Structure 1
Amino acid sequence: MRYYSLLFFFFLCSFLQAQISGRVFIDANNNGLYDLSEKGVANVCISDGFTVVQTNVDGLFTLSPQADSRFLFMTTPFGYFAANGHYLKLQDSTLSTLDFPLQHDPHQQKDFLDFIQITDTETSIYGTWIDNVRNFSRANKSSFIMHTGDICYEDGMRFHAQQVNSKLMGRPVYYTVGNHDLVKGAYGEQMFESLFGPSYYSFEAGPAHFVVTPMWNGDYKPSYTKDQVIAWLKQDLLLKGKDKPLIFINHDFDIGSDYVLRGERDSIDLKHFNLKAWLFGHWHDNFVWNDIENDVKIVSSNAPNKGGIDHAVEQFLHIKLTGAGIASITPRYTNLRSHVKIAKPVLTENKLKLHAIAYDSDRPIKNVSASILDAERNLLSTFDLSAVSDWAWEGHTREDINRDRYVELQVNYVNGEYDIRREYFGENKKMPSMDLIWTSNLESNIWKAGPLLHGGKVYAATIDDAGNGKAAIIALNAATGKQIWRFNTKNSVKQKMRIAAGILVTTDVEGNVYALDAETGALIWQKELHLGRTLPNYMSAGALQDNVYYTGFGSYLSALDLQTGQLLWKNRDWNGGQAMPGELYATATSLITGANWNSLFLHDRRTGKLLWSKKDEGIRFRSSGIAMDGQHLFVAGLNTLFVLDEPSGKEIRKHTFSEDFKSMGSPLVHDDLLVVPTGNCGIMAVDKQSLEKRWHFTTRESLIYTSSYTSPERHELVATVESAVVPFKDYFVFGGSDGFLYMVDRRGKLIAELEIGAPILGDPFIADDEIFITDFAGNVHRIHFKS
């Protein structure tokens, strides 16, 4: 047999430019070899990366490979998966045939498809996210797992080939070339090809045709060109069914708004081939844009194992397709197992309202039910809870809880497993100093846009990282938590809103500015800053001063009249980077802003002229806003605190720490202290003058990972605080990514804490003894502090 394999290889090498032949067949006995009784599959596309041919009625094909061909690959047809993989290496001396065995995929349907997207994992360390993706895809019978690039570098690619492959994941795993997957070798993609196969290819699954294309450039120069890929793509798409949706895969969204892919000499208009979606990563953000005009969904995801550059939460995407395109996208947050929390029941309108948090990264939840038991654990009543967001559940009962009562919660998973939690509520329970008054859920996640209290109303905004139409600005009655009005936005409002002169103003991630009547929610004016641009998405909180609203970054950093939306000035002095996820800051004369990967900038607030910029020693990677004291700017870099002179930008002093300051929460100047949230270890207070550390308060492990590149993979504490620290009487109040609301004194000693059960990213708003907070589960809470 070895002799015949070598003979075949010699023949193949000798006649590589002559015709070669093979077959595609249904491998009924699963032995990987063609048997005479097994049926061939017709009209399957076969390519060497240059030429595309189809199999005949018996599943046979012939093809004349180009001299530069390194692979023979198959467009796996609908209803099947490639038993031995979708490609063959033409220079492989162990090959005895050029056949492609297929097996039926019971998870595919003609008019429906379920699959998983992961991206930018960039690791050689085994993490829980791998188990989460594997177990979730199995539980949902997902057809395949698509990795959209940056695997990354040599160690990362070797690790993924060994640990995140089709065999171990239990479903086909496809890979895309990212910029960090182009590494040193004879050509940039050489190592990728040795582990994962061709750098561009296609396959069919469910009702759709998928095309996977490589990053056009990266750390090392690839051997392929865009013109080469376009030439192959034209042949591939001409053989695609006209009405079949096209799902385009690349590591980046590297195409114009006309969806024409252009090389140096050639081009192809993807709209002519029923383009329905473009899936990518690269930006380390969570962002979906619905291009309504062209009926295309643009889908960008952060990695499943770490916080994003713009502090996007770690996730993978669960995507469902129909013949019309993407039907739904569900983000799945990793590293959570049996996360269940019962909130204090609240009596409203003679009914007991129970809120709960229930989430599991692996196991979809089937249903949640609650039981009320008396002091002797006798059952009094049972009722079901309904999902009001991806984390939050709520239900009602008329059972009196003012006496000794237990609440028991049962969470049932689709795989038959369950969790039970029991909590005592009643007269004998020690009442906390922070007492929950009401909770209202807004039906989608909340980032940092809220709460904002004004005129008896609480304002907050929801995010929709999946493009499912759930992004909105909502006003609640501050006394009761009941919704007063709701305004739907085009995309997520992730950062703080501002209010003045009865106008609520904010900007969504697409760069759309909304000015609403704060009383009624009616739109006063709306302005698009991006002018058609979608990336990078906008993440900074605007500033409002003297009825001028400052928002945007780079070439669309703008000053707008609050009343009319009239453009007063637009930045012309700098561009590039990504919008930092903190907030802009306006002084009497200046506007201070910045961009991640770029600089801290100070502009003349009235003219927009850039006065100075600073990017050294970690300031270019700044995540938070700034604090002011007189003419001194307090700025947090990666792990260094700076004091700068406002007029000149001159450095007055600095201090470097072991702590990581990658937090969206702005520093707080309070008396003689500078209090700073951190990305990995709670909050820290330093002396305002010397910047020497005074004290440190460490929170618990984060429930989600948002601070840039923080990850549980290193098995070190990640205690992120994205909330700003707010002064209250003699105390400081802040929320943690661990799901707790904290109150500490001026020496950093814990005074009170309240477990909410979901990450608190937004800044608390305090009025008298009432504390208003929002959480990632989409809840707005009113909490009373008892001194």
Structure 2
Amino acid sequence: MTCNIYSVAAQYTGHVFVDNNGNHRYDRGEKVLPGVSVSDGLNVVQTDKDGKFELSGHANARFIYITLPAGYRTDTYYQRIADDMNSYDFELQPANPKSIKSDGTHRFIHISDTHMYDSYLTALDGYAASSKDLRDYVENEDIAFLIHTGDVAREGFASYKYFLNNENMPASQVFYCIGNHDLGSGKYGEESFENHFGPAYYSFEVGNIHYIVTPMPGGDGKPDFTQERIGQWLKNDLKYVPAGKPIISFNHSVMSGDGHFRFGSNETGFIDLTEYNLKAWIYGHWHHDRMYHYDGSDVLMICSPGHVRGSYDHSPSSFRVLTTGPQGQLSSEIRYPYIDKSVTISSIDNGMAATLSDGTVPLSVNTYSSVSPVRKVSYSCFSRGKKYLSDRPLKQNSDFNWSDNIALPSSLDNQIVTVKVTATFANGEVSQESASFCYRNATNTQVKVNEDWTNLLQNAAHVPELKDTLQLPLQLAWVQNIGANIYFSSPLIYKGAIYAASLDDNGLGKASVTCMDAQTGQIRWQYPLRHSVRSSIAAEDGCIFAQDINGWLYAVDAATGKLVWEKDLEMDKQVPLDNGLVTSDGVVYAGTGRSLCAFQAKTGELIWQNKDWDTGHGTSSTFSVNNGILVGQAFWEAAYANDARSGQKLWSRGGYGFGSSAAMHGGLIYSISNRSLFIVDAKTGKRLIQKTYDFELKNLSTPLVTNDEIIFGTAENGVVAVDRNTLEVKWRFRTGRAMIYTVPTLGDPASPVEASPVLSGDIVYVGASDGALYALNRKDGQLLWKHAMGAPVLATVAVSGNALFVSDFAGNVYGFISK
């Protein structure tokens, strides 16, 4: 019998049926559905053999709603209770048969934290474009359902629902959760949410899985629901779920930090979902991409950001596609909006291509479509009016990259060769791209590296000291894909090798540190990591150091790729370790907040651990060290300085929003944040100058300080140089529209540059989110040279000898040489 501790207020009846003729009412002879759970927000009953239900109701009941059964969809699974109405029928339609396999396997999309405002309905802020990409992907890929886990937010409920609803995605189903910013003014906190999206907690079934949606317990307004009532409802809901049936739960945030998920009260008792075969807890709120487990827990934790704009820790605008297996096992694929059948031959540009030692030409193609996966990439080669190679397949290396080595006959030496690439997408669309080059059947490129590049921007102060000058045009010597995306982790140059670290926010085991030969790009070794590396790695005392987002620090032998030592920094699992580490004078500085530590690089011996400041957010910038001072940031909080030798906090300065790693030069700190350039005294933290501009500076680009200028990327307007004395804008260079948006709160269209500029001679080299590497004149910002990659270039270049090394988001590392 259903447990009901609240007084009975009414009695409700109705049918659950299949609306075969689409007239929105139950007609004799239409299929009725027995065994469907129906609830009033506390009590739960099931329909009888005739599809009928009787529900007692309770004093706080505002909706009658069903647990949508597997194999069906509906335009609305809930109905608001009316004073003059006691009968509520629910019309269902068969679900898209292609969306669920015979064993119950299906896919759904998770998004969160879109923070919609009514003004965005017609504004060019990416909502319309990214939502259309999302809808098209749902249709193309037969997605079973889409769920938004909260913070729509309340100012834009009506507008956002125009973009994603059951009417404009008729082959799928849309569900919403309530977030802290969805709770607001009214008779009760969830009133506005209910008016647009229905109940704040409910369940539904797809395939073999019982899905549960619960609300965030509090927020900007006080809710009417209580943890006690939700606990009672959960007990009533789950009593109809067979023992052992997999359960997946959605909420706006995380209930606790111990891997348990409890609802109830001391008076009525608690229910812990981990006792009901809970497979995953899927949430938002933190605005980042995460997949992890709490220690000792089998429950998979999954966090995803929004599809519209970059997130607070620079997680990209994206939507997560989750595949649910028959027993509730989950696999993930992160997808990116705004990219329309893009194809770029990244290894051929400016009429040049590399030639390898065996005479072959490396062919690297970056291709992507937001609305459909790439199924096949092939190429043909032409010269002197003749086709030499026809429809040769390329091998897929990552979500963006495909490659092959082109073997051409020696008779084509010194001839113009055209490569035509065809990308075929799963929805049947096709995109083509061609590029031409003068073929040389013997390599005439030799990489010569001199100074090591052991940290972001060469050294711990992030102020490069280049002794070599590159001459344009640059010639590609080699390109190597490391098998996974590369985010803000810039290449290192160390003892004649190149090192890169990769991203794996899908939990596929692809995160690694990779060592490549500087001369050829050939992979010497790869060391697998537990989780993603988002930001800078570093080298010191014969080791390569990396830290993953779950707080593991690795010291890997630079020559052999074997682990020397590792440390669990014991991070709060809810807060990702996004930031980059730094090495200096035999010490590696890793972690953040109270997990910030200094270790002996050779041995891993702890020197000190920070006790003076903490952070509750992930920050993608990198620590800086100079003259015994360690400087770091925590977004939304403050900038901090610690004594690099003792760990004692020297100073902190509040008001830090989002921004770059610090360049430490001449006793000063140069950084950008929000809309300002800051110059700060490194010893005292005194803010000497804050120059505010009319453009956003929430990006990670560390300022380049020259004799005459300070040059940095911007969040939306490409690259800017300001006069070093007056700090007035000297020149601007606008890069192209971003392929992926990573800058916090920044949406489409914009031209962000997250990478830091590097100066060689009078030429500034910088990559951009539009998928290109640029060479600009330092004095006036004029474009001197460009190489198109076709995937965002988020990491900073590294320069040594006659070579420049750069990575792209597709997982490619490029070695260029100065001719």
Alignment TM class, shorter chain as reference: over 0.9
1:103 and 2:106 matched: no
1:457-536 alignment, distance < 5 Å: 457-531=497-571, 533-536=572-575
Shift of 1:139: 0.8
Letter of the 1:623 partner, please give it: G
Conserved? CA contact 1:193–1:199, under 8 Å: yes
Partner residue in 2 for 1:612: 651
Conserved? CA contact 1:297–1:326, under 8 Å: no
Shift of 1:750: 2.2
Conserved? CA contact 1:199–1:214, under 8 Å: yes
Partner residue in 2 for 1:646: 682
1:720 and 2:752 matched: yes
In structure 2, relative to structure 1, the CA distance for the partners of 1:536 and 1:523 (3 Å cut) is same
Partner residue in 2 for 1:366: 375
Local SS of the residue matching 1:653:
strand
Partner residue in 1 for 2:456: none
Shift of 1:263: 5.0
Conserved? CA contact 2:113–2:306, under 8 Å: yes
Partner residue in 1 for 2:163: 163
Which of residues 667, 679, 697 in structure 2 aligns to 1:661? 697
How many Å separate the matches in 2 of 1:484 and 1:281? 39
Q: How many residues align?
A: 759
| Alignment root-mean-square deviation, CA | 2.0
Local SS of the residue matching 2:181:
helix
Letter of the 1:699 partner, please give it: T
Partner residue in 2 for 1:180: 181
1:68 and 2:60 matched: yes
In structure 2, relative to structure 1, the CA distance for the partners of 1:175 and 1:752 (3 Å cut) is same
Residue range with higher mean Cα deviation, 764-773 or 742-751:
742-751
Partner residue in 2 for 1:357: 366
Residue range with higher mean Cα deviation, 464-473 or 123-132:
123-132
How many Å separate the matches in 2 of 1:146 and 1:780? 36
Shift of 1:586: 1.3
Local SS of the residue matching 1:137:
helix
Partner residue in 1 for 2:433: 421
Residue range with higher mean Cα deviation, 493-502 or 431-440:
431-440
How many Å separate the matches in 2 of 1:363 and 1:386? 18
Shift of 1:350: 4.0
Local SS of the residue matching 2:231:
helix
How many Å separate the matches in 1 of 2:737 and 2:690? 29
How many Å separate the matches in 2 of 1:553 and 1:292? 20
Shift of 1:476: 1.0
1:85 and 2:76 matched: yes
Conserved? CA contact 2:659–2:671, under 8 Å: no
Per-residue CA distance 1:147-172 (angstroms, 9 max, x = gap): 11111123x10112333210112221
Letter of the 2:408 partner, please give it: E
Local SS of the residue matching 2:32:
coil
How many Å separate the matches in 2 of 1:415 and 1:584? 45
Letter of the 1:257 partner, please give it: D
1:307 and 2:298 matched: no
How many Å separate the matches in 2 of 1:162 and 1:659? 30
1:334 and 2:337 matched: yes
Q: Structure 1 residue runs of 4+, over 6 Å off?
A: none
Letter of the 2:804 partner, please give it: I
In structure 2, relative to structure 1, the CA distance for the partners of 1:665 and 1:605 (3 Å cut) is same
Conserved? CA contact 2:354–2:475, under 8 Å: no
Letter of the 2:438 partner, please give it: G
Shift of 1:698: 2.1
Residue range with higher mean Cα deviation, 640-649 or 348-357:
348-357
In structure 2, relative to structure 1, the CA distance for the partners of 1:292 and 1:471 (3 Å cut) is farther
How many Å separate the matches in 1 of 2:657 and 2:341? 35
Shift of 1:691: 2.4
Relative contact order higher in (CA < 8 Å, ≥ 6 apart): 2
Partner residue in 2 for 1:320: 323
Partner residue in 2 for 1:229: 230
Which of residues 555, 558, 568 in structure 1 aligns to 2:607? 568
Conserved? CA contact 1:304–1:314, under 8 Å: yes
Per-residue CA distance 1:386-443 (angstroms, 9 max, x = gap): 2211111112442346422211111112222211222222269xx9812211111111
Local SS of the residue matching 1:356:
strand
Letter of the 1:196 partner, please give it: F
Which of residues 260, 263, 270 in structure 2 aligns to 1:267? 270
Conserved? CA contact 1:558–1:568, under 8 Å: yes
In structure 2, relative to structure 1, the CA distance for the partners of 1:121 and 1:673 (3 Å cut) is same
Partner residue in 2 for 1:116: 109
Conserved? CA contact 1:119–1:148, under 8 Å: yes
How many Å separate the matches in 2 of 1:447 and 1:244? 38
1:140 and 2:141 matched: yes
1:602 and 2:605 matched: no
Shift of 1:550: 1.4
Residue range with higher mean Cα deviation, 253-262 or 294-303:
253-262
Shift of 1:529: 1.2
Shift of 1:262: 4.8
In structure 2, relative to structure 1, the CA distance for the partners of 1:518 and 1:65 (3 Å cut) is same
Shift of 1:292: 8.0
How many Å separate the matches in 2 of 1:350 and 1:244? 58
Conserved? CA contact 1:346–1:354, under 8 Å: no
1:753 and 2:744 matched: no
How many Å separate the matches in 2 of 1:225 and 1:558? 41
1:217 and 2:218 matched: yes
1:528-607 alignment, distance < 5 Å: 528-531=568-571, 533-607=572-646
Shift of 1:462: 0.8
1:198 and 2:188 matched: no
How many Å separate the matches in 1 of 2:566 and 2:270? 36
Per-residue CA distance 1:24-53 (angstroms, 9 max, x = gap): 223333322222212322221111111111
Which of residues 386, 405, 410 in structure 1 aligns to 2:417? 405
Shift of 1:561: 2.2
Letter of the 1:161 partner, please give it: K
Local SS of the residue matching 1:133:
helix
Residue range with higher mean Cα deviation, 732-741 or 235-244:
235-244
In structure 2, relative to structure 1, the CA distance for the partners of 1:293 and 1:352 (3 Å cut) is farther
How many Å separate the matches in 2 of 1:773 and 1:642? 27
Shift of 1:537: 0.7
1:632 and 2:668 matched: yes
TM-score, length basis structure 2: 0.89
Residue range with higher mean Cα deviation, 622-631 or 433-442:
622-631
Which of residues 24, 28, 32 in structure 2 aligns to 1:36? 28
Conserved? CA contact 2:798–2:805, under 8 Å: yes
How many Å separate the matches in 1 of 2:299 and 2:27? 44
In structure 2, relative to structure 1, the CA distance for the partners of 1:215 and 1:285 (3 Å cut) is same
How many Å separate the matches in 1 of 2:399 and 2:262? 37
Conserved? CA contact 1:434–1:753, under 8 Å: no
Letter of the 1:645 partner, please give it: D
Letter of the 2:775 partner, please give it: M
Local SS of the residue matching 2:196:
helix
Per-residue CA distance 1:291-326 (angstroms, 9 max, x = gap): 584332211112111011111111011111112324
Conserved? CA contact 2:721–2:732, under 8 Å: yes
1:394 and 2:403 matched: yes
1:687 and 2:677 matched: no
TM-score, length basis structure 1: 0.93
Local SS of the residue matching 1:579:
coil
Letter of the 2:712 partner, please give it: V
Residue range with higher mean Cα deviation, 31-40 or 57-66:
31-40
Partner residue in 1 for 2:797: 764
The answer for unaligned runs of 5 or more in structure 1 is 1-14
Q: Report percent identity of matched pairs.
A: 34
How many Å separate the matches in 2 of 1:535 and 1:322? 26
Local SS of the residue matching 1:28:
coil
Conserved? CA contact 2:12–2:87, under 8 Å: no
The answer for unaligned runs of 5 or more in structure 2 is 1-6, 122-126, 446-471
How many Å separate the matches in 2 of 1:91 and 1:19? 12
Residue range with higher mean Cα deviation, 391-400 or 58-67:
391-400
Per-residue CA distance 1:489-533 (angstroms, 9 max, x = gap): 1100111111111011121111110011111111111111125x2
